[in-house]
Structure 1
Amino acid sequence: MTRWIFPSPIEAGEVRRFAGEAGVARFAAELLLRRGMSSADDAAQFLEPRLKSLRDPFLLPNMAVAVERILAAIDRRERIVLYGDYDVDGVTSLTLLTRLLRAMGAEPACFLPLRADEGYGLSPDGVARCVSEHAPQLVIAVDCGTSSVAEIAALKVQGIDVIVLDHHECKEALPACVALVNPKLGDDFHYLCSVGIVFKVAHALLKQRPTESFDLRDCLDLVALGSVADLVPLRGENRVFVRRGLVQLAQSKWIGLRALVEVSGLNAPFSPGNIGFGLAPRLNAAGRLGTAQDALELLLTDDAGRARTLAANLDVQNRERRTVEEAVFQQAEAQLVEWFDAARDAAIVVGAAGWHPGVVGIVASRLQKRHHRPTFVVGFDESGTGKGSGRSIQGLSLVAALDRCADYLEKHGGHEMAAGMTLREARFAEFRQAFCACAREILTDEQLQPRLHVDAELTLGEIDYDLLDEHESLQPFGMGNPQPLFAARGVTLAGEPRVMKEKHLSLILRQAGDEYRAVWFNSAAQELPRLPWDVAFQIERNEWQGTVTPQIHIKAVRHAD
């Protein structure tokens, strides 16, 4: 059963004071106070994030050395290769850096490893193919490389310099590269993903060598795209990037990105949800089932016809990806029926031969959300090598847990909440036992109980256009700045619920004489509790035929007792 958690009350006078100083409504004042803001200046910086607030890019570790080496490579006309990752963060990073270096007089080559054959990052196979195809003098590894000690040492022996621009966790052994620009080496900017770091590198390069033909603001849509897709927290400079980037997306300079928006059926004004559920899955589809080259070419092309063709291809690949993903998800659920006991097991580990490595991460995310357990999904190839992807819950660091299970793994890495690993099929059962035991030891029963965190209580009568405007001012919502979840108590219904499209419910909620229409997605098959209800909901902007209204989207209901 899901536990509803209501926020601790804040003294009413403090809320009134802050609301007056910041010029916001009561619920917004409560929310901002709970998210660590206490002054009008804090609120202003959050509500109106500005590019002028971006800090000196040279505050990032090793930035000066990286910039000096890149400019030297441009001046000496060296062969530069941008070695990226096949996800949206990697592809947008390569796109931004390529466009800047071209404007500065270089013509870098781009290299993307093959997910199925070469795996993630600077793998031996990927590096060997890169060197064979491009004979680089300088490799700029983006969104990978922090843990590639042996691979970078081997490149150094061949006389090839390497710069790493990455945001993954730093282990004790670091690569002997020219410069490792990774925020985790310092005390700040830890929230940046790789495209955010590349933006900072671009800013630093332009500070050293201004280039009139290149406006870095034109790339903010790429930065927003990569940042939202990589699920980094939308705080600090990320909030600036995404807020401004969503505006830039509506007037994007990039033909390929405009074609992707069109094939996705999206319209301005854009939200992080448009990226997370519309644009990013299509860009990711190419790298999941094959090569990410189509996604990179789409973002780099200046040919409108080619852009339309590539965007249409990515749309088809995304539909194929969904089919493959659903098949793996259903097979994984069937495995859980055989062994998983929610009262006993603190983690989920499933795997099978033939599961496509490009969808195991998505399936892991779906299983984690459904069962509220740290989850690994592993797909094995014909040789018995398994590639797995994991998603966690609060309280368990996947990186730390995998370190404890390292004896069963070929390699592993990632973040606290998302990680990847490789193992042999013969060690799968041992790994599952060890990982589940580790989770059971670390996580408490309370942490294993699903939670629903309410941000503020509202009455239906408080939901109006002014509240919608206040709500919209808190955008963009995402990791680190979740969309507010409200609760209304003692709610009844004005009529029977109406089923829409065989799976959704449309309801008219009634509370103290006020009525409001609400939508509850994917709830038609649920058994409804007896009235009256407590209703947990979010507010959405609904625009129809030029009219904008607030709309209630129900997330959960319970009997009001």
Structure 2
Amino acid sequence: MREEPRQWILKKDPPSSEVDVEGVPSILLKLLGQRGVTGKENIEAFLNPRLKDLSDPFLLPNMEPAVERIFQAVDQNEHVIVYGDYDVDGVTSVALMRNVLDAYGVSGGIFIPKRGGEGYGLSDVAIDNLLAKHGKPDLVVTVDCGTASIDEIDRLGELGIDVIVVDHHEMSVRGCPDCIAVVNPKLGDDFHYLCAAGVVFKLAHALLKRRKAEGFDLKDYIDMVAVATVADIVPLVKENRLLVRHGLKRLPQTSNAGLKALQQVAGLSDNVSSMDVGFRIGPRINAAGRMDRPEDALSLLVEKDLEAAHRIASLLDEYNCQRQGHEKQIREEAMKMVYEQCDPINDPVIVLGSRNWHPGVVGIVASRLMRQFYKPTFIISIDEDGLGKGSGRSVEGISLVGAIQACPDDLISGGGHDMAAGLSIREEKLADFRKNFSEYVLETTSKEQRAPRMNVDSEIGFDVLSLEFMDSYDLLQPFGSQNPQPVFMSREVWLTEAPRHLKNNHLKLFLRQGISEHDAIFFGGGERTLPDPPWDVAFTIDRNTFRGRTSLQMVIQDVRASHSG
């Protein structure tokens, strides 16, 4: 497999500081400094965030009219529908919003569109189906969607249905929809980091500040918000960090039957990390939406009975296995196409499409190919009528939104975020889009910016790596967007025995530096041609518990011949 080697960029040490925080090793102070966390007070707040530091929810835009309108629905016994998205953030947002309304005695229902037939967000076909299922509600609360649904919300208004939007997505160039309130941090100057479930949490907090709901404790839902925040890959900064830190602590003892059953099915232990959420909990919830069964994910999160929840969690696990099968098929076919249709080293982008690919899985494959080849990537599923729906993932410094805006003649529609976006395109336009997307990238970036690279936080010796070090290292958690898991490097590393090949082309390595030895796992390492030792190794560290024994495990990110620059 021919890939361009990555350049390792060792981060510079932050400006020296005389700050000394008891019990925090100097290397962790260095890592905090690299993240812009300096000064004793800020360091202690980062390492030990407190729930009492949550800010006033009424600081969010349009919170006041949203609260007033919901209490009108409470007092007048109105019929309220919560309308959401089919991913983890959307499903958890619907579950939390519905639970809040139920606590106030508000009647109504929930509606989540299907990815295949109704698409993302509000659409005419989804509105038709909502009305057919629930009748005409007095109020619709959209969560994790609605900000850009100007025409659809106008239609609801013409039908005499009020709308509150609770969202975190970007505004439309046409402005805000005409509705009761758009509670979206993007309309203000702060809280832009929140996911939709975080905004719903803020709305619930605002409601409870004005009027208590008997028997409802918002802290019971912090674990659900944490799952959404990690799964939606929003920045783990400020209140997001606070919510995720406390939510992860609550997950093993969660009062939510669905989350408890899901952890059991996923084989999680008493300590749940953001990685566990990102790679084991989130994918199982997402799989239901990808298989056009989002209602099953929602049923799991609102189920009260643990035995029933376990049956649903097992069903989601089956969906995830189906998703993995589709993903494997698409990835294998896409990899073959990369080498047949592209130059994986010199081409600036990857754009691939097929009529054989499941539309619910293309985003995962785009992400995998983007990481493997370090190129902005779109993977597109094309239906029998030649209409393609694709997902894109990008590398640092290349905006997919900018690329979409630069190719208006090639696309039917498109949008999203700089690093992740979706589009619709006709099959016959794929070649034109690939060409124009490539030109956009070449014109807006330098060759150096496009070169594969990996940021390394710090050089560290094997002798430092211990469970005691992990205890203080864990204070940096949760890891995620804008607080990434640190990547360390060690030089002059030798093998103590031959690599052991595991399933799925993973390797188990037995490493030594000086007199210190550590085992390591190298995911996908069996696909690589490894240089002769000694090596420089780049790695992250995690706890590994096996048969009741906990150890520090190195997870290899890259290997190069020692002294290779």
Provide TM-score, normalisation by structure 1.
0.96
Q: Alignment partner of 2:541: what SS?
A: strand
Displacement over 4 Å in runs of 4+: none
CA contact (8 A) 2:13 2:34 kept: no
Q: Alignment partner of 1:438: what SS?
A: helix
Q: Alignment partner of 1:117: what SS?
A: coil
Match of 2:99 in 1: 99
Q: Alignment partner of 1:423: what SS?
A: strand
Q: Measure the CA separation in 2 of the matches of 1:502 and 1:123.
A: 41
Counterpart of 2:393, as a letter, is: R
**1:362-381 deviation digits (Å, cap 9, x = unpaired):** 11111111111111111121
Q: Measure the CA separation in 2 of the matches of 1:156 and 1:307.
A: 37
Counterpart of 1:79, as a letter, is: H
Written as runs of structure 1 = structure 2, the 5 A alignment for 1:110-121 is: 110-121=110-121
CA contact (8 A) 1:345 1:440 kept: no
Is the deviation greater in 191-200 or in 401-410? Answer: 401-410
Equivalent of residue 227 in structure 1, options 216, 226, 229:
229
Match of 2:62 in 1: 62
Q: Measure the CA separation in 2 of the matches of 1:498 and 1:311.
A: 34
Match of 2:348 in 1: 346
Is the deviation greater in 1-10 or in 234-243? Answer: 1-10
Q: Alignment partner of 1:395: what SS?
A: coil
Equivalent of residue 204 in structure 1, options 181, 203, 206:
206
Q: Alignment partner of 1:509: what SS?
A: strand
Equivalent of residue 289 in structure 2, options 254, 272, 287:
287
Q: Measure the CA separation in 1 of the matches of 2:224 and 2:181.
A: 24
CA contact (8 A) 2:88 2:286 kept: yes
Q: Measure the CA separation in 2 of the matches of 1:359 and 1:480.
A: 25
Match of 1:108 in 2: 108
Q: Measure the CA separation in 2 of the matches of 1:554 and 1:338.
A: 30
CA contact (8 A) 2:265 2:317 kept: yes
Q: Measure the CA separation in 2 of the matches of 1:311 and 1:515.
A: 40
Is the deviation greater in 462-471 or in 42-51? Answer: 462-471
* Aligned pairs, number: 557
Counterpart of 2:391, as a letter, is: S
Match of 1:159 in 2: 160
Counterpart of 2:98, as a letter, is: T
Q: Measure the CA separation in 2 of the matches of 1:336 and 1:503.
A: 20
- Aligned CA distance change for structure 1 residues 411 and 37 (closer, same or farther; 3 Å): same
CA contact (8 A) 1:221 1:248 kept: yes
Q: Measure the CA separation in 2 of the matches of 1:502 and 1:350.
A: 24
Is the deviation greater in 211-220 or in 496-505? Answer: 496-505
Q: CA deviation at 1:343?
A: 4.3
Q: CA deviation at 1:501?
A: 4.7
Q: Alignment partner of 1:265: what SS?
A: coil
CA contact (8 A) 1:539 1:551 kept: yes
Q: Measure the CA separation in 2 of the matches of 1:160 and 1:28.
A: 53
Q: Measure the CA separation in 1 of the matches of 2:380 and 2:396.
A: 22
Counterpart of 1:465, as a letter, is: L
CA contact (8 A) 1:164 1:180 kept: yes
Q: Alignment partner of 2:385: what SS?
A: coil
Q: Alignment partner of 1:250: what SS?
A: helix
Counterpart of 1:163, as a letter, is: I
Q: CA deviation at 1:351?
A: 0.8
CA contact (8 A) 2:23 2:472 kept: no
Which structure 2 residue ranges, 5 or more long, are not aligned? none
Q: CA deviation at 1:425?
A: 2.4
Counterpart of 1:187, as a letter, is: D
Is the deviation greater in 338-347 or in 315-324? Answer: 338-347
**1:473-524 deviation digits (Å, cap 9, x = unpaired):** 1111111111111111222233433444584433333323333333333323
Equivalent of residue 527 in structure 1, options 526, 529, 541:
529
Q: Measure the CA separation in 2 of the matches of 1:495 and 1:374.
A: 38
CA contact (8 A) 1:22 1:44 kept: no
Q: Alignment partner of 1:506: what SS?
A: strand
Q: Measure the CA separation in 1 of the matches of 2:12 and 2:155.
A: 55
CA contact (8 A) 2:115 2:290 kept: yes
Q: Measure the CA separation in 2 of the matches of 1:527 and 1:32.
A: 35
Equivalent of residue 8 in structure 1, options 1, 9, 12:
12
Q: CA deviation at 1:81?
A: 0.8
Q: CA deviation at 1:146?
A: 1.1
Equivalent of residue 419 in structure 2, options 414, 417, 425:
417
CA contact (8 A) 2:66 2:181 kept: yes
Percent of aligned pairs sharing the same letter = 47
CA contact (8 A) 1:347 1:440 kept: no
Q: Measure the CA separation in 1 of the matches of 2:26 and 2:368.
A: 35
Counterpart of 1:161, as a letter, is: D
Counterpart of 1:3, as a letter, is: Q
Written as runs of structure 1 = structure 2, the 5 A alignment for 1:76-475 is: 76-134=76-134, 135-173=136-174, 174-475=176-477
Counterpart of 2:114, as a letter, is: L
CA contact (8 A) 1:355 1:380 kept: yes
Counterpart of 1:537, as a letter, is: F
Q: Measure the CA separation in 1 of the matches of 2:490 and 2:454.
A: 14
Q: Alignment partner of 1:41: what SS?
A: helix
CA contact (8 A) 1:22 1:39 kept: no
Q: Alignment partner of 2:163: what SS?
A: strand
Written as runs of structure 1 = structure 2, the 5 A alignment for 1:495-534 is: 495-501=497-503, 503-534=505-536
Q: CA deviation at 1:526?
A: 2.7
CA contact (8 A) 1:22 1:43 kept: no
Q: CA deviation at 1:231?
A: 0.8
Q: Measure the CA separation in 1 of the matches of 2:541 and 2:346.
A: 37
Is the deviation greater in 322-331 or in 526-535? Answer: 526-535
Q: Measure the CA separation in 2 of the matches of 1:543 and 1:331.
A: 36
CA contact (8 A) 2:284 2:319 kept: yes
Counterpart of 1:521, as a letter, is: F
- Aligned CA distance change for structure 1 residues 312 and 40 (closer, same or farther; 3 Å): same
CA contact (8 A) 2:78 2:107 kept: no
Q: Alignment partner of 1:191: what SS?
A: coil
**1:419-453 deviation digits (Å, cap 9, x = unpaired):** 11222223333222222221222222122222111
Counterpart of 1:153, as a letter, is: D
Q: Measure the CA separation in 2 of the matches of 1:102 and 1:140.
A: 14
**1:537-558 deviation digits (Å, cap 9, x = unpaired):** 2221123444433222222221
Q: Measure the CA separation in 2 of the matches of 1:326 and 1:503.
A: 14
Is the deviation greater in 198-207 or in 527-536? Answer: 527-536
CA contact (8 A) 2:411 2:424 kept: yes
**1:51-81 deviation digits (Å, cap 9, x = unpaired):** 1111011111111111111111121111111
CA contact (8 A) 2:195 2:229 kept: yes
Q: CA deviation at 1:398?
A: 1.3
**1:372-429 deviation digits (Å, cap 9, x = unpaired):** 1111111121222221111111111112221222233222221111111222223333
Q: Measure the CA separation in 1 of the matches of 2:502 and 2:314.
A: 30
CA contact (8 A) 1:346 1:443 kept: no
CA contact (8 A) 1:518 1:553 kept: yes
CA contact (8 A) 1:405 1:434 kept: yes
Q: CA deviation at 1:244?
A: 0.7
Counterpart of 2:107, as a letter, is: E
Q: CA deviation at 1:23?
A: 4.2
